[in-house]
């Protein structure tokens, strides 16, 4: 299901910023992913939806360098890549907001936001720069978490979520992956995260987001890839992605082949 | 209506202040140290003599040097039960080299290096064989202990060159050299922990290993380094001790040293769960242990009370740590 853009009569194919081809992954006897294809463009918010156990998080962890795919290919801007570990994926331009947030409770907000890319002055820790950067990113995102010296352990679930997102934004990398970024959030904070994603899109980032919150998905998505039982069953554009269709694909009551038929009708 | 929130606020502030005091491990310990000093000086005023206080400092030094390495390790989420054996291993290596005519600077460097290698082996047992740290280092404790006995035939190593002994026994302006070594080691570990990116990584690994890994920190590398440093400081402490007593003693280290060091680290406010702890806390913890040792002798209290008191303080310290953590990790509603 290659992404093609129809401009008049000419068909222009863009090279995706990130692309997965026939990715497979098994954990021992359990097959987590049997065939995952995904193309995400620059300046696009691309949602990945699916039921629990569909393989969304496994896909994201492969992209984050935390798991290695057993088969298939990952490409960035058309070049096949391999991630040795999380720091390697980051070095190749991928920032991640994990579902479990990956924050260290006993460290403060500024330190957590700099983990993996700690500001240095010579060989010394540059705490001032660390705090300044954290404050700048948080105020850019219009986030208020009190002091950046507050320990993460003292923050609420929603505040932690926002800090985790702010950390990924601080990296300022071309691709940003988010796993359930609104799971712990209220209505107002969810809308705020939506604004942050739109701002990232405006800046030309490639945003790939896993979410269960379909209202959130429909409001922001440029593309929606539906996963089911370890496979990517369909990728829909914003126009195609209607509620009943997406739910049908998630639950399996609509077969992906039917969409092809529908779109031809 | 307008007055009420203000008064509530200031009351909350007051409780918060006393709590902070209680929650800062160094402050609590300093209060305990002063209380013991006052109580003991009533029984025997000699306790507060400069000479006696220097003795307390001198005895605290050996524990402190080891505790620096052990605390970095435990802040990073590790645990090393083999330090007591590595202490002996370092001392035996250096003193045997000295007896073979090797100049003391080289002998010391090699002794510390052997300690580092021991730490590296521990980290490999843990990472490659997936043996939990407590078991891995308990096993290596026995292995290293056996090795030192095998190599020495169970005999202490002496006499040692005068130049080497001076390193452990000399003083400058009344300050024992050993106190200066401890100050240098303490300052170095404090600097690494508080002012380098590596220190932040150690806390991150200890505080939440998976989060550290997900953020691209090379967790296994950090762990290797802290085990190596833990082994090196244990060996260095053993070497200082050998210089101080003038012989490489086969029975000097062992489980007693291991337990005392881990106790000093825990009393000093390092959490067994990792992430939390400071070098100043360790220093105060080592001084407290050494003060209790000394106070009981000065006040002519039978030695079994020493172990009872240390046990009580250890349990109290870890209980306080739990409260501290609960407050730190509480999710605000």
Beta strand spans in A28-135 (E)? 30-40, 44-50, 71-76, 79-81, 94-97, 120-121, 124-125
B201 chain-A contacts, CB cut-off 8 A = 118
Q: Given an 8 Å threshold on Cβ–Cβ distance, is B197 in contact with A125?
A: yes
Q: Could you tell me if B276 and B178 are in contact, meaning their C-beta atoms sit under 8 angstroms apart? A: no
Sorting pLDDT into bands at 50, 70 and 90, what band is B221?
A: very high
B194 CB neighbours in chain A (<8 A) are: 125
CB contact under 8 A, B331 and A155: yes
Task: Tell me whether A90 touches chain B (CB under 8 Å).
Answer: yes
Cβ A118–B208 below 8 Å, yes or no?
no
The pLDDT tens digits of the residues spanning A108-118 come to: 999 999 998 89
Q: Does B215 sit within 8 Å of A115, measured CB to CB?
A: yes
pLDDT in tens, A57-72: 999 999 999 999 999 9
Partner-chain residue, chosen from B194, B218, B328, that has the shortest CB–CB distance to A106: B328
Banded model confidence at residue A3, pLDDT cuts 50, 70, 90: very low
Q: Does A71 touch chain B (CB under 8 A)?
A: no
Residue-by-residue DSSP string for A176-221: EEEESTTTT--HHHHHHHHHHHHHHHHTT-EEEEE-S-HHHHHHH-
Q: Find residues 5-34 of chain A whose CB sits inside 8 Å of chain B.
A: none
Q: So where are chain B's domains?
A: 26-321
The answer, for A258 touching chain B at a CB cutoff of 8 Å, is no
User: Does any CB of chain A come closer than 8 Å to the CB of residue B322?
Assistant: no
* A118 touching B (Cβ < 8 Å): yes
For residue A18, pLDDT over 70 is answered with yes
pLDDT, tens digit, 9 for 90 and up, residues A203-255 = 999 999 999 899 999 999 999 999 999 999 989 888 888 888 888 899 888 88
Interval B22-34 mean pLDDT: 79
Mark yes or no for CB contact A123/B196 under 8 Å: yes
CA–CA min distance A24, chain B (Å): 21
d(CA A65, CA A94): 9
What mean pLDDT, rounded, does chain B reach?
Answer: 88
Q: Which domains does chain A have, with CATH numbers?
A: 12-102+174-264 (3.40.50.300)
Which of A86, A101, A155 is facing B216, going by the closest CB pair? Answer: A86
Alpha carbons within 13 angstroms on the beta-carbon side of residue A133 total 22
Q: Is the pLDDT of residue A178 over 80?
A: yes
Cross-chain Cβ contact B331/A157 below 8 Å: yes
Partner-chain residue, chosen from B196, B201, B214, that has the shortest CB–CB distance to A124:
B196
Q: What's the rounded Cα separation, in Å, for the pair A188 and A197?
A: 15
ipTM > 0.90?
Answer: no
- For the ranges A194-208, B149-163, B251-265, B311-325, the lowest mean pLDDT is seen at B311-325
The length of chain B is 333
Residue B83 pLDDT greater than 50, yes or no? yes
Residues from chain A that touch B204, judged by Cβ atoms under 8 A, are 104, 107, 111, 115
As to burial, measured by CB atoms within 10 angstroms (0-12 exposed, 13-18 middle, 19+ buried), residue B259 is middle
Q: Is the pLDDT of residue A4 over 70?
A: no
Spelled out in words, what is the top-level CATH class assigned to the domain B26-321?
A: mainly alpha
Of A25, A65, A165, A196, the C-alpha closest to B213 is: A65
As a whole number of angstroms, the distance between CA B30 and CA B269 comes to 12
From the candidates B25, B207, B321, which should be mutated to test the interface with A, based on the most A CB atoms within 10 A?
B207
Residue A183 contacts B where some CB pair is shorter than 8 Å: no
Looking at the partner chain, which of A64, A102, A151 has a beta carbon nearest the beta carbon of B211? A102
Confidence band for A9, pLDDT divided at 50, 70 and 90? very low
In the predicted structure, residue A261 carries a pLDDT above the cut 70: no
Q: Of A87, A92, A104, A150, which to mutate for an interface test with B (greatest number of B Cβ within 10 Å)?
A: A104
- CB distance from A103 to chain B under 8 Å? yes
**Residue given tokens 């209060």 in the structure block:** B31
CB contacts < 8 Å between A and B, how many? 93
Beta-carbon separation of A85 and B216 below 8 A: yes
**For residue B15, is pLDDT > 60?**
no
């Amino acid at each position: 299901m290659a992404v093609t853009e129809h401009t008049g009569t000419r068909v222009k194919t863009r090279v995706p910023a990130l692309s997965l081809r026939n990715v497979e992954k098994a954990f021992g006897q359990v097959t987590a992913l049997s065939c995952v294809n995904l193309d995400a463009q620059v300046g696009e918010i691309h949602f990945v939806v699916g039921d629990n156990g569909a393989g969304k998080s496994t896909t994201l962890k492969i992209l984050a360098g935390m798991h290695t795919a057993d088969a298939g290919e990952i490409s960035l801007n058309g070049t096949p890549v391999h991630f040795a570990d999380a720091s390697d994926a980051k070095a190749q331009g991928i920032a991640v907001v994990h579902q479990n947030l990956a924050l260290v409770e006993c460290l403060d907000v500024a330190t957590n936001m700099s983990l993996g890319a700690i500001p240095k002055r010579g060989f010394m820790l540059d705490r001032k720069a660390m705090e300044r950067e954290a404050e700048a990113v948080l105020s850019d995102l219009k986030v208020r978490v009190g002091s950046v010296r507050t320990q993460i352990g003292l923050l609420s679930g929603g505040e932690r979520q926002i800090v985790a997102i702010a950390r990924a934004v601080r990296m300022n990398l071309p691709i940003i992956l988010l796993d359930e970024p609104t799971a712990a959030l209220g209505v107002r904070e969810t809308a705020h995260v939506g604004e942050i994603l739109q701002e990232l899109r405006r800046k030309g980032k490639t945003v790939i987001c896993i979410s269960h919150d379909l209202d959130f998905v429909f409001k922001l998505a440029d593309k929606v890839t539906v996963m089911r039982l370890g496979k990517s069953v369909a990728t829909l554009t914003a126009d195609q992605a209607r509620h009943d269709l997406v739910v049908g694909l998630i639950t399996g009551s609509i077969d992906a082949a039917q969409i092809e038929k529908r779109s031809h009708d | 209506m307008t007055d009420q929130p203000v008064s509530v606020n200031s009351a909350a502030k007051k409780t918060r202040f006393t709590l902070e005091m209680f929650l800062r491990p160094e402050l609590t310990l300093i209060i305990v140290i002063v209380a013991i000093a006052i109580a003991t000086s009533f029984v025997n005023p000699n306790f507060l003599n400069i000479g006696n206080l220097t003795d307390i400092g001198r005895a605290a030094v050996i524990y402190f040097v080891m505790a620096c390495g052990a605390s970095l390790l435990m802040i990073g989420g590790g645990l090393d039960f083999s330090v007591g054996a590595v202490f002996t291993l370092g001392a035996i290596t250096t003193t045997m080299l000295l007896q073979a005519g090797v100049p003391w600077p080289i002998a010391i460097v090699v002794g510390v290096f052997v300690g580092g290698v021991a730490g590296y082996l521990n980290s490999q047992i843990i990472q490659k064989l997936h043996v939990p740290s407590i078991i891995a280092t308990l096993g290596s404790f026995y292995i290293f202990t056996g090795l030192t006995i095998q190599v020495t035939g169970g005999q202490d190593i002496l006499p040692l060159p005068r130049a080497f002994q001076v390193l452990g026994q000399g003083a400058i302006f009344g300050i024992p050299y050993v106190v200066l070594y401890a100050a240098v080691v303490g300052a170095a570990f404090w600097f690494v922990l508080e002012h380098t990116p590596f220190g932040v990584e150690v806390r991150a690994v200890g505080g939440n290993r998976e989060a550290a890994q997900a953020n691209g920190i090379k967790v296994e590398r950090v762990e290797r380094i802290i085990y190596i440093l833990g082994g090196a400081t244990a060996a260095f402490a053993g070497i200082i001790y050998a210089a101080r007593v003038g012989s490489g003693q086969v029975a000097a280290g062992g489980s007693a040293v291991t337990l005392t060091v881990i106790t000093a680290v825990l009393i000093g406010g390092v959490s067994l769960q990792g992430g939390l702890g400071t070098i100043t806390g360790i220093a105060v913890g080592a001084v407290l242990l050494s003060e209790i040792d000394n106070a009981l002798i000065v006040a002519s209290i039978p030695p079994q009370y020493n172990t009872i008191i240390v046990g009580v303080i250890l349990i109290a310290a870890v209980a306080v740590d739990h409260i501290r953590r609960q407050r730190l990790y509480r999710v605000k509603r």
